[in-house]
Amino acid sequence: MSIAIVYMAKEFNWDHSIQGYVSSAFYIGYFTTLIIGGVIADKFGGKRVLSVGIGEGPTYSCIQSIISKWFPPEEQPRAVSLICVSNFIGMIISMPISNLLGSSQFGWESIFWAFAIIGSIWSVIWHFYGRSDPRDYPGISKEELGWILKNKSTVCSEDNLRNYPSGSREYITIIDHDHSENDMLLSKNQISSRPSYAQKIPWKLILSHREVWAILLCQFFNSWSFFTMLSWLPIFYYEYFHVDIHLIGFYTALPYLSYVIMGSIVGYICDYSIHQLKIRVIIVRRSANIIASLGISMILLSITYLAKTSVEGLLMITIGFALYSFQNSSFLVSHLDIAPKYAGVICGLATTCAMIPAFFAVALTGWILEVTNDWNIIWRICSLCNIIGIVFYVSWVGGENNPKKVITNR
């Protein structure tokens, strides 16, 4: 949409306000299926929700739920990082393609048709090959399944299933009385073939902990900046640096490429720091968050002053997105540190928090530009939101988070 709207605005002579409303309209629909998608994914499995295809909203909630089942705790943050990076790989590919389609004889309409067809093909493949739980997958070996579940049983056996108050320097354990997690306490040859899903969602307990609110509030403020850039960077290139309309997709894709490369590296660095260098998870998460948010904020605050040409602007944004990729190892994986079984629910809550500023930020940006025509105001607001997000996350993320001490069920 961020590429298509450049062509649409030119064809229909839309001002910035209308561009903002059109771009933000997507997030209204996205918002409606976030929490319900996460709840259903944790109760019935992410595969089913993705197969039904009730909208794009539940996608990340389903992915988080699936990761919590398929990966042992020490690999979950890396898996989330790679998934987030893969999202930007899609952008790297889709932005130039959208640019080519929009500039072709088929017009901007072909952008939507092309990706609708691709999405439909993927959904059919996923329906037949996707699985919510490794115990449902016929192609998995007994050795691999045993290894995954054995690593999960180690986590459950070490947390002693205790309850901790919000803000404690200890760890949080959510206890309910379904038997789905009991399999994790069995020996390798006793592992049940039953997939485990959350039967009850302890909303009050989840929302009573500041560690959860650290994730939600950081997601809220960070999203103002993220979705503003996602929706308005192509227009910024086009209007501020006067980039040729046929090159906008390539200009937009390059920063995402830097995000992919650095994000992949960062995921391994952070996991290595935690599991090999034995650096506390809390330090790694906080450091990654500070690097990501301050890095992109410094670029946004200085780009209109330091960049004199479109190439210089592109280089600065590319560096900013490389630093921004550190977020993949901070608040985007924290819910797997504290609540792997409810990863889909918390992710749904966090993404819901993200959609509120997404809608208002994208629309408000258009209105501000229409009134002031000053991009500096836009980037200052984004930077301020990033800094507020840092404060909440660093303050509340937790005392001694550790992947071996988690919110679990028994």
pLDDT of res. 196? 53
Helical residues (DSSP H) of 4-133, grouped into ranges: 4-12, 16-31, 34-44, 46-52, 59-70, 76-103, 109-129
The answer to whether residue 50 scores a pLDDT higher than 50 is yes
The structure tokens listed for 351 are 């993404």
CATH number at residue 359: 1.20.1250.20
Residue 199 pLDDT grade (very low, low, confident, very high; cuts 50, 70, 90): low
Q: At what angle do helices 4-12 and 76-103 cross, to 10 degrees?
A: 30
Q: What are phi and psi of 398, to 5 degrees?
A: 135, 165
Domain presence at residue 197: no
Tell me the C-alpha distance between 374 and 304, whole Å: 10
Between 54 and 2, the higher pLDDT residue: 2
pLDDT in tens, 234-292: 999 999 999 999 899 999 999 999 999 998 898 889 888 988 899 998 899 999 999 99
42 with 33: CB under 8 angstroms?
no
Give CA separation, 327 vs 78, 334, 366, in Å: 12, 11, 26
- The Cα 274–Cα 43 span in angstroms is 31
Q: Is 401 inside a domain boundary?
A: no
215 belongs to a structural domain = yes
Domain total in the chain: 1
Tokens of 276: 């090999």
* Residue whose entry in the numeric block shows the structure tokens 């960062």: 266
Domain residue limits at 257:
4-134+203-396
Q: Return the top range by mean pLDDT from 48-62, 220-234, 332-346.
A: 220-234
As a whole-number percent, the residues of the chain with pLDDT over 90 amount to: 43
> Dihedrals φ, ψ of 31, to 5°?
-60, -35
Q: Has residue 128 been placed in a domain?
A: yes
Query: pLDDT (tens digit, 9 = 90+) per residue, 377-392?
Result: 999 999 999 999 999 9
- Is residue 330 predicted with pLDDT exceeding 60? yes
| Burial group, residue 244, by CB count within 10 angstroms (0-12, 13-18, 19+) | exposed
- Residue 279: how many other CB atoms lie within 10 Å: 14
The DSSP element (H or E) to which 32 belongs, if any, is: none
Q: Does a structural domain hold residue 148?
A: no
Lowest-confidence segment of 166-180, 196-210, 261-275, 341-355 by average pLDDT: 166-180
Average pLDDT over residues 36-63: 80
Q: What is the pLDDT of residue 383?
A: 97
Q: What is the DSSP string of 154-194?
A: HHHHHSTT----TT-SS--------STTGGGGS-GGG--S-
Q: Is residue 210 part of a domain?
A: yes
Phi, psi of 402 (to 5 degrees): -155, 135
Residue 59, pLDDT > 90, answer no
**Inside any domain, residue 164:** no
Residues with Cβ < 8 Å from 294, sequence gap 6 or more?
323, 386, 387, 390
**Highest mean pLDDT of the ranges 136-150, 203-217, 293-307:** 293-307
More confident residue, 342 or 4: 4
Residue 382 lies in a domain: yes
Specify the pLDDT at position 382: 96
101-117 pLDDT, tens digit each: 999 999 999 999 999 99
The lowest-confidence range among 123-132, 191-200, 320-329 is 191-200
Beta-carbon count within 10 A of 347 CB: 33
DSSP H or E run through 206: helix 203-207
